[in-house]
Amino acid sequence: MSHTRSISTVFYKFLKTNLTTNSSTIKHIHSSRLLEKNVAFNLSDIGEGIREVIVKEWYVKEGDKVVQFDNICEVQSDKASVTITSRYDGTITKLHHNIDDVALVGKPLVNIETDEAEDTGAVEKKSTLETPKLETIKSSTEIKKDINNLVETEFIHTNCDIICIPSVRRLAKENNLNLSLIKGTGKHGRILKEDVLKYLENNNGETSHSGSLVDEKQDLEEAISGFQRIMVKTMTESLKIPHFVYSDEITVTKLSDLRQSLKAISELNETKISLMPFFIKAASNALKKYPIINATTDQNLEKIYYKKNHNIGIAMDTKAGLAVPVIKNVENLGILDIARELNRLVKSGKNGSFAPSDIRGGTFSISNIGSIGGTYMMPVITPPQLAIIALGTTKVLPRFDKDMKVVPESIINISASADHRFIDGATMANFIEMFKRQIENPNLLFLNV
DSSP per-residue codes, 348-391: HHHHT-B-GGGGS---EEEEE-TTT--S---PPP-TTB-EEEEE
420 catalytic? Reply is yes
Min CB(390)–ligand CO6 separation in Å? 4
Using rule CB under 6 A, residue 393 touches ligand CO6:
yes
Containing H/E element for 296?
Answer: strand 295-297
Q: Output the smallest distance, CB 413 to ligand CO6, in A.
A: 9
Least distance (Å) between residue 321 CB and ligand CO6? 9
What's the rounded Cα separation, in Å, for the pair 12 and 10?
5
Binding of ligand CO6 by 371 (CB under 6 A): yes
Residue from 137, 346, 355, 444 binding ligand CO6 (CB under 6 A):
346
Question: Is the CB of 199 or the CB of 279 nearer to ligand CO6?
Answer: 279
Give the list of residues 6+ apart from residue 421 with CB closer than 8 angstroms, or none. 241, 242, 301
Task: Rule CB under 6 A: say whether 314 interacts with ligand CO6.
Answer: yes
For this structure, is 337 an active site residue? no
- Considering only 280, 316, 326, 335, the residue that binds ligand CO6 (CB under 6 A) is 316
Torsion angle in degrees (nearest 10) through CA of 125, 129, 133, 138: 0
Residues 6+ apart with CB under 8 A from 43: 53, 75, 84, 103, 104, 105, 106, 107, 108, 109
* Binds ligand CO6 (CB under 6 A): choice among 322, 336, 355, 444: 322
Q: In this chain, which of 67, 377, 386, 423 binds ligand CO6, going by CB under 6 A?
A: 377
Is position 274 an interface residue for ligand CO6 (rule: CB under 6 A)?
yes
Q: How far apart are CA 400 and CA 395, in angstroms?
A: 15
Nearer to ligand CO6, 43 or 252 (CB): 252
Catalytic residue (one of 45, 119, 298, 424): 424
Cβ neighbourhood burial of 332 (10 Å; 0-12, 13-18, 19+): exposed
411 scored as a contact of ligand CO6 (CB under 6 A): no
Between 120 and 371, CB nearer to ligand CO6: 371
Of positions 390, 411, 423, 432, contacts ligand CO6 by CB under 6 A? 390
Least CB distance to ligand CO6 at residue 139 (A): 34
Contacts to ligand CO6 by CB under 6 A: 274-276, 314-317, 322, 342, 346, 367-371, 377-379, 390-391, 393-394, 412
